[in-house]
Amino acid sequence: MKIIFATGHRKSGTSLFHKLFEGHSELNSFPVDISVFYAYFPCFAATEPEEERRLQRLKIVLEKVTAPMDGAVPDGGRRAFSFAAFWERFRGSFLPGHTGQRSMVLLHVLASFAETVGTDPDKPWVVKQTSQAIFARELLSDIPGMKILNLLRDPRDNYAALRAGAGTYYSKLGEDEMKTLAA
């Protein structure tokens, strides 16, 4: 599977960059930030020894991430997305021990999504996940041919954007101003 992984610090333009690829006739695009790398890895996967509990956490994360897509036909798809159908495919294809490997989770998510909505599995994927450049070496060694695009933004501009959102958007996520700025 060919993957173009778009990453960068939050507020660096990854969402806009990712949106530029949606609807491209020669690419598949996972429609939203995949989120599993920071909502599941590294903490939960590293501390939870039970495979079934790991899968349940993955289900929670993936269901929350894909909720806006439920019932919609994504660009390049032939069928509407259904989380129940997606999870059935995901769970059925997942092998024991893969819940602790970023690359395997990513590959299973994309393959299950493609099967669920009927996209062409041979087309390269564009996937967005913020703040994941630190795992580039691992992903590149596990997924041959993967390309990682890390967006950079002037740190002063990034600071201003984070500071502006600290009292509104990020506070809803449970972050105070210092935690937001420290991130």
Total number of domains constituting the chain = 1
Whether residue 41 lies inside any domain: the answer is yes
Residue ranges with strand state E in the chain:
3-8, 28-29, 125-128, 147-151
Whether residue 30 lies inside any domain: the answer is yes
Whether residue 161 lies inside any domain: the answer is no
User: Are 35 and 61 within 8 A, CB to CB?
Assistant: yes
Whether residue 183 lies inside any domain: the answer is no
Q: What is the pTM of this model?
A: 0.82
- Model pLDDT for residues 88-97, shown as the tens digit of each residue: 999 998 888 8
Q: Which of 134, 139, 76 is nearest to 105 (CA)?
A: 139
The Cα 133–Cα 77 span in angstroms is 29
The Cα 125–Cα 136 span in angstroms is 16
Q: Can you give the residue range of the structural domain that contains 142?
A: 3-152
Whether residue 63 lies inside any domain: the answer is yes
- Model pLDDT for residues 137-168, shown as the tens digit of each residue: 889 999 999 999 888 877 787 778 777 877 78
The Cα 83–Cα 71 span in angstroms is 9
